[in-house]
Amino acid sequence: MCTGRVDLSFILRAFSNGTDGVFIGGCWPGECHYITDGNIHALNMVNLCKKLMEHIGVNPQRLRLEWLSASEGIRFAEVMNDFGNQLKNLGPLGIGEGIDQDELKSKLQEVTKLIPYIKLVKKDKLALRLKEEEYNELYTSDEVDRLFSEVLSYYIDPDKCQACQICFRRCPVEAIEGGKNQIHVIDQDICIKCGTCFEVCPPRFAAVNKISGQPVPPPIPEEQRTIVRKSKGKGGG
Amino acid sequence: MEKETAEGQLLKIPADGNFGDVLVVGGGISGIQAALDLATSGFRVFLVDKAPTIGGKMAQLDKTFPTNDCSMCIESPKFIECARHPNIEILTYTEVDSVEGNAGDFKVTLIKKPRYIIEDKCTGCTVCVEYCPVKVPDQFNQNLSSNKAVHIYFSQAVPLVTYIDENCLYLKDKKCSICVGACKNKAIDLHQEAEKVEIKVGAIVLAPGYEIFDPKLRGDYGYGTMENVVTSLDFERLLCATGPHEGEILRPSDKKHPHKIAWIHCVGSRQVTPGGNSYCSAVCCSYIQKQVILAKDHDAEMQAAIFHNDIRSYGKDFERFYQRAEKLPGVKFIRSYVSIGKEIPETKNITIIYATDEDGVKEEEFDLVVLGVGLNPPAAVKGLAEKFGIELNSYQFCKNNPVNPIETSRPGIFVSGAFQGPIDIPESVVTASGAEALCGQLLARRRGKLAKERIYPPERDVSEEETRVGVFACHCGANIGRVVNIPSLVEYAKTLDNVVHAEEGLFICSTDAAEQIANTIREKGLNRVVVAACTPKTHEPLFRDTLREGGINQYFFDMANIREHCSWVHSREKEDATQKAKDIVRMSVARSALLQPLQEFDLPVNKTALVVGGGVAGMTSALSLANQGFEVYLVEKEKDLGGMARRLHYTLEGLDVQAYLQDVIRKVYQHQLIHVLTDATITEVSGYVGNFITKVQSEGRIKEILHGAAILATGAAEYKPTEYLYGQDDRVLTNLELEEQITKREERLINSQSLVMIQCVGCRQEDRNYCARICCSQSVKNALKLKKINPQMDVYILFRDMRTYGFREDYYREASNKDVKFIRYEPRNKPQMEAVEEGGQSILKVTVTDPILGQELAIAADSIALAAAVIPSAGSQEISRLFKVAMSPDGFFQEAHVKLRPVDFAAEGIFLCGTAHYPKHMAETISQAYGAAGRAVTLLSQDSVRASGSVAEVNESACIACGACTAACAYGAIQFEDTKQGKKAVVNPALCKGDGLCNAVCPTGAVSLKHYTDEEIFRQIDAAVPDVAAAR
């Protein structure tokens, strides 16, 4: 396992658990013990994470990535002491920022839920290979704010869905309810907004709508989901 | 030459003989490595040590330079590997009595000395030690503390059984036998007698190591008469947590912390006065720097003075290590001969008299003086040589073949480790692997005939069981136990969910403790094991093996590091450290519940090897492999074989390099199993350990080579100086050009009245911060040659430190005696040179400031030789990219572990040797080439290799083929395959190295790294702050 294995969700999980700071240690650039430069992957991810923290009002200084080799015991101690002092100065998570604990919790939950979406939308940027210092500028606050304001959702138009089950089968997280002759419905709590349903819905039905920055219409009630084919008219009971 | 003898011997071995066995004499790190490599490659090994345990000198060291790894911590897993290896029989407290026969067919008589303990019955419980009334100085602790007449040599000893030494009252005059009654297992037999054991072996590896120089023999250091004068080995024990004062540095006279310590270099080395050794002991400079760094770690206020005469930091990363020591506050490196002044009666402080260029003669007082003692041949070396029928050199070390330092004067008997001469740990390991290769050449046809396979109990299916975690907390001697309250940790562990058993141990890694864990797994029905101890980096393989012994899947193991991550960093905050240890263990236990059984799988091994680079290193490796019966492809980018050696003509020791080289080239071309590809470029490398596919372009065609292992020996290059008018004035030569002109007897050169050699050109400076190792000896070599050809010539060598380490020191002295003038310069005051007209003649005027005279000297030179640095070869970078192997910051190949895996890459199945690793002399290159061949054979001799179970896997239904994982994987281990549900990512587990980058970028959670899954890590994160997490 490598520093590059550290997942956005690990960091957010730690903050959700009330941890005041998260420290990640990585091998020095150019000294990757694999050949993968996972340390640089981690640097990229950490820069993104800091912007996410900023977006929800958490001080990004609570997350720190440092390069340390196994032989740098003294430096490691210095860095940790420094980080410890820094956190003490910042105060407890949320209180230091002046955010209400419940609000903080729900914001962290919101971001956590969006992690798959963020990974997907920022896929290309997360894979970029740049010079070490260039990562600092890679993500902007505007960009992250937009990420949230323009967040996509997918909605299956009950009027168009023919219950062909393609999206139902292909959804990677099993967020689509439905079955034979049952109009498909996306469970927005499970959906990771990957767009697979949108991609695979046969063009002749075009039942999946992409919604950006707008609220998603409520799901069609369960008792109205059965399609009666003989009527040739509208779906629904 | 010698090889032909060996091959000749091979034919005489009776075809039905069973002499595939090898005797390894000496159980230090070199003997251990030789035994492990031999046993793994299919020979049965008798590992004999005269001490009551294996381990040798390395076991006594606190840390190792230049990485400051804990010495015992990296060595002791190898003890257990030896003990567990089915092909190794360890015979401790045993001496060799006689050796008869010839290569391939030796009869060896061993004498097993009475340890007065029945080894099979002793459990190592040490009750007898408690009862024994006789206190004796503890040899392992350099007599700085006491032990009992019955004791275990050290806590990690293998075998972990006691022995009774000659101080026993019963053995002396039958007075006491209290231990016999105390032993519940009736393991003590005071009437035991020496036992003769006769074994038949095909080859012998001598690894008896060295003794330290005994400064008592010379009255002038005060050792033995002044209490606060200790040797460097004494000081190792003082530094060590398992030492006389549990890692506190206390001086002998009053057991107080010394605040001002002096180290004296070259004690017993580089001395031609009676009682001293003329050679340089090669390791002392770096070990002293290590001791200074460690002593400063112990006491940041400590003042240190290091008295030296040249700092010989010639090894890989030694120069930086020296700089690290030198930069420490309160540390002074002083270039001066010294003498011990007096012991001050009241304080027992010691004064040292020394002289500096600036201040003249001074006398200074120190609390403690450490003597940097050199390396002597092993004890009773003459008897040893007689027994084995081998010759010794003039220094009483083993006489070896100049073109194969691993061969002794007797066929079938090989030498590894410091019996070759003063060498450090990596070289001892390299020569051990090399000895394995040479045994393999001799006994190739018998490989595997006597080998046994390790058999484990069947693996228990625990899928239906409830989780049952066992926690084992280690004191690590005093390393952990002194800081962390282990009993309290154990009690705490018992309160954690799923924990059904928790216990403590002094050294959980010792053989008996490991066995005990295996038993507990069975008896208590454990299905998860957490060991709270040191680092998984060194000890995880050992404990995983223990789980297999206990009959459960090895991946049900987790290690909680409460040493590096806790006790070592919080030594002054015992309570907080104990709390932290509890936190670490709680997280580990939480994770362990989710661990899944994983299967490692077998990959077949292609028995062909690829050797990249046709210089001396590559050719030697290729020949060794081929002589052991393996097919080899030897790839060389030039059109001729030979590499850098084509430009060498003679060595310091007088070898005719070209004659030797031609002989090797002929053998390579003549060998049926070696395919030579010259003018060749490697264009592509794919595959993995045991199954590589390499495309080579040669003579206009591309050849695809399938091979199981690769040895990279791409060599080095000579730096092209930009300094000192090089390239502008043809009287300015590099060392290699000088050698060429000397060989051709170039008239202009030979008739020079005056020649100046300038050392360290292009290295030991900011942009190339390393010592090129060979240049000092090269310059001495050329100077001697020039003096021989033209005794009238004035030869000057302008140097920073003369680094003629080891036996080369004698040539330095010889040059000095022959009036070669050595003038030291400081890096801030480099020699200056200009071409000037003087008396109508054009000369090169060199000015240099002599620090001793404090004056600027001007030398009129007819020729200049620059000791141009050895730099990485142009091709190495590309080769490292193709084979995906690591490079050091200086551009040399980076071995897997500086000390113990010196010719392995971290990437499995790929090995390295020669100057691509670091500059080195030809004999060293040859040793390393055999070492690399030996290591490769431990792989090639197998039919299959195991691949880790901790690899990525894809949950197909969750994969949306977004490509994030394939982009992240540098190993090309993930690819898309078409399925009914569209494209899906698929992991090739043989290529996956388990870094887990794919897991971190996968948006849908389709990719997961087994053994480090999201759920396992979440569980650990949640357990870090349980109260908050529980409230979630």
B-chain residue closest to A166, CA distance: B981
Whether B566 is in a domain gets the answer yes
Work out the minimum CA distance from A231 to partner chain B, whole angstroms: 32
ipTM for the predicted complex: 0.93
Could you tell me the mean pLDDT of each successive run of 10 residues in chain B, 1032 residues long?
Answer: 36 44 97 97 95 97 89 88 91 97 95 94 85 95 95 90 94 93 90 94 97 90 95 96 88 96 97 93 97 92 96 96 96 95 96 91 97 96 97 97 95 97 97 97 83 83 95 88 95 96 88 89 97 87 93 97 89 93 97 95 93 98 97 97 97 96 98 97 92 94 97 97 96 97 96 97 95 97 97 97 97 97 94 90 93 89 97 93 87 92 92 98 97 97 90 94 92 91 90 92 95 96 78 50
B-chain residue closest to A195, CA distance: B960
3-state helix, strand, coil in chain A (%, to 5): 45, 15, 45
Per-residue model confidence (pLDDT) at position B2:
37
Q: Running DSSP on this structure, what letter comes out for residue B565? A: I
Q: Are residues B731 and B806 in the same domain?
A: yes
Tens digit of pLDDT for each residue in B184-237?
889 999 999 999 999 999 999 999 999 999 999 888 899 999 999 999 999 999
Work out the minimum CA distance from A117 to partner chain B, whole angstroms: 7
C-alpha span between B719 and B827 (Å, rounded): 18
Q: Are residues B680 and B613 in the same domain?
A: yes
Q: Are residues B452 and B506 in the same domain?
A: no
C-alpha span between B470 and B557 (Å, rounded): 10
User: Residue A142 contacts by C-beta under 8 Å, 6 or more apart in sequence?
Assistant: none
A41 and chain B in contact, CB less than 8 A: yes
Q: Are residues B79 and B123 in the same domain?
A: no
Q: Are residues B62 and B203 in the same domain?
A: yes
Listed by number, the residues of chain A in 163-182 with a beta carbon closer than 8 Å to a beta carbon of chain B are 169-170, 172-173
C-alpha span between B1013 and B816 (Å, rounded): 66
Query: Do B1018 and A10 count as a contact with CB atoms less than 8 A apart?
Result: yes
Per-residue model confidence (pLDDT) at position B548:
95
Q: Are residues B855 and B925 in the same domain?
A: no
B23: left (phi over 0), alpha (psi -120 to 50) or beta: beta
Q: B532 near B581, Cβ under 8 Å? A: yes
Q: Are residues B692 and B812 in the same domain?
A: no
Q: Are residues B502 and B452 in the same domain?
A: no
Work out the minimum CA distance from A133 to partner chain B, whole angstroms: 19
Whether B989 is in a domain gets the answer yes
A38 and chain B in contact, CB less than 8 A: yes
A14 and chain B in contact, CB less than 8 A: yes
CATH number, position B252: 3.50.50.60
C-alpha span between B270 and B810 (Å, rounded): 8
Whether B921 is in a domain gets the answer yes
Residue B123 belongs to what domain range? 114-192
The domain boundary, picked from B427, B458, B489, lies at B458
Q: Are residues B865 and B732 in the same domain?
A: yes
Per-residue model confidence (pLDDT) at position A230:
61
Q: Are residues B124 and B55 in the same domain?
A: no
CATH 3.30.70.20 intervals, chain A? 152-224
The stretches of B639-762 forming alpha helices (DSSP H) are 657-670, 735-743, 747-750
Q: How many domains is chain B partitioned into structurally?
A: 7
Size of interface A-B (CB pairs under 8 A): 134
Work out the minimum CA distance from B1000 to partner chain A, whole angstroms: 5
The domain A152-224 having CATH identifier 3.40.630.30: the answer here is no
The domain boundary, picked from B321, B341, B371, lies at B371
Tens digit of pLDDT for each residue in B404-448?
999 999 999 999 999 999 999 999 999 999 999 999 999 988 888
Handedness of CA B898, B903, B904, B906 (dihedral sign): positive
Whether B710 is in a domain gets the answer no
Q: B372 near B266, Cβ under 8 Å? A: yes
For A155, counting Cβ atoms within 10 Å of its Cβ (0-12 exposed, 13-18 middle, 19+ buried), the class is buried
Interface test with B, best of A34, A101, A114, A168 (most B CBs within 10 A): A34
What does the pLDDT profile of chain A (237 residues) look like in tens digits? 899 999 999 999 999 999 999 999 998 887 677 778 899 999 999 999 999 999 999 999 999 999 987 656 678 888 999 999 999 999 999 999 999 999 999 999 999 999 999 999 999 999 988 888 899 889 999 999 999 998 999 999 999 999 999 999 999 999 999 888 899 999 999 999 999 999 999 999 999 999 988 889 999 998 888 887 765 444 443
Q: Are residues B753 and B835 in the same domain?
A: yes
A-chain residue closest to B1001, CA distance: A119
Rg (CA), chain A: 22
Whether B888 is in a domain gets the answer no
The domain boundary, picked from B333, B356, B371, lies at B371
Q: Are residues B775 and B842 in the same domain?
A: yes
Whether B858 is in a domain gets the answer yes
Considering only the beta carbons, identify the residue of B959, B996, B1003 that sits closest to A2: B996
